[in-house]
Amino acid sequence: MGNPGPAYAATRHNIGVAFVRYLASRFGIGFATATKVKGEAGRGLIGDADVRLLLPGSYMNQSGEVVAPYARYYRVAPEEMLVAYDEVAFEPGIVRLKTGGGANGHNGIKSLIEHLGSRDFHRLRIGVGHPGDRAQMVRYLTAVNMPAEERERAAAAFELDDELLIALAEGEMQAVMNRLHGAPGQEG
């Protein structure tokens, strides 16, 4: 998830978009304008898994308005979905996988839960750090480009090996969690 347009491309809120674009590039999956919803979509193989990638063309807080109709049209159940997004609870360089749960203050996740009617989707939470002052959160996430060093740490953390990415695409979430959460240099 992220915000559309070049003004947001290098912001913390768009680290999920960066991950999806990385995944597409790594496995040779191209994007085209999605015909059924506002956004860009791609389809291809990651290992033996036939995957659909979606970059919603909406603002983060309205992601559910794009993702839910797309998922319904292609009959993708929430339990089959992986959502990549920015996580302020983790520093750049930390990536965690979680299944289900609440929105934890993340309006994009709140929108998905509301429009999907389910909390049971998988979440790839990519650390972007916290501004230190909650009042600065919106500016920190959407108006300030992520410093190059932090962006490099975040990107390095989601540049996982093929075996792990294939397991992720094939839905082997517990195996991915065990390995990802126990990786050297990964905290908490």
Q: Please name the residue ranges forming H helices in the chain.
A: 15-26, 63-73, 107-116, 137-142, 148-158, 162-169, 173-181
Residue 13 is among the residues annotated as catalytic for this protein: yes
Question: For residue 16, which of 59, 50, 46 has the smallest C-alpha distance?
Answer: 59
Q: Cα–Cα distance between 167 and 1 in angstroms, integer?
A: 21
Residue with tokens 């768009």: 14
Using alpha carbons only, give the angle 76, 80, 82 rounded to the nearest 5 degrees: 110
For the packed helices 107-116 and 63-73, what is the interaxial angle rounded to 10 degrees? Answer: 40
Catalytic member of 13, 106, 115, 122: 13
Report the SS3 class of residue 76: coil
Residue with tokens 């009617």: 117
Task: Answer for the pair 116, 71: CB distance below 8 angstroms, yes or no.
Answer: yes
Instruction: Please give the positions annotated as active site.
Output: 13
